[in-house]
């Protein structure tokens, strides 16, 4: 699938600190913390943590919490949130909720 590989390479070149592979997103430990910015998503999402050490998730107006394998949580549409970089790559499964 050359197109998929080209899109992944383009994402890395243009600064996204992650790679998408279907519903799996992998965040790169080698990116700087400044790349993990506060942002909002256009739809509700269900998140399942697959692997990664030391990463934290911070929703708007809340303290960050530790992400551990097996943890599941939802992110509401238009809710500001950010990741705080950990010690290894972070791999999550994202399901967009309708």
More confident residue, 51 or 11: 51
Sheet with 18-21, edge to edge strand ranges: 18-21, 24-27, 90-96, 45-51, 72-75
- Asked if residue 4 has pLDDT above 80, the reply is no
Residue ranges and CATH numbers for the domains of the chain are 2-96 (2.60.120.10)
Judging by beta carbons within 10 Å of its beta carbon (0-12, 13-18, 19+), is residue 90 exposed, middle or buried?
buried
Minimal CA–CA distance to 16: which of 4, 6, 28? 28
26-54: pLDDT as tens digits: 999 999 999 999 999 999 999 999 999 99
pTM of the model: 0.82
What is the overall mean pLDDT for the chain? 88
Provide φ and ψ at 35, rounded to 5°.
Answer: -85, -15
């Amino acid at each position: 699938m050359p197109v998929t590989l080209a899109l992944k390479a383009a994402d890395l070149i243009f600064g996204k600190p992650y790679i998408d592979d279907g519903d799996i997103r992998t965040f790169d430990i080698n990116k700087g913390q400044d790349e993990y910015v506060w942002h909002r998503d256009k739809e509700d999402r269900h998140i399942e943590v697959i692997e990664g050490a030391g990463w934290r998730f911070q929703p708007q107006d809340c303290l960050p919490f530790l992400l551990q394998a097996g943890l599941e949580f939802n992110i509401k549409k238009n809710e500001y949130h950010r990741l705080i970089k950990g010690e290894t790559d972070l791999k999550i499964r994202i399901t967009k909720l309708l």
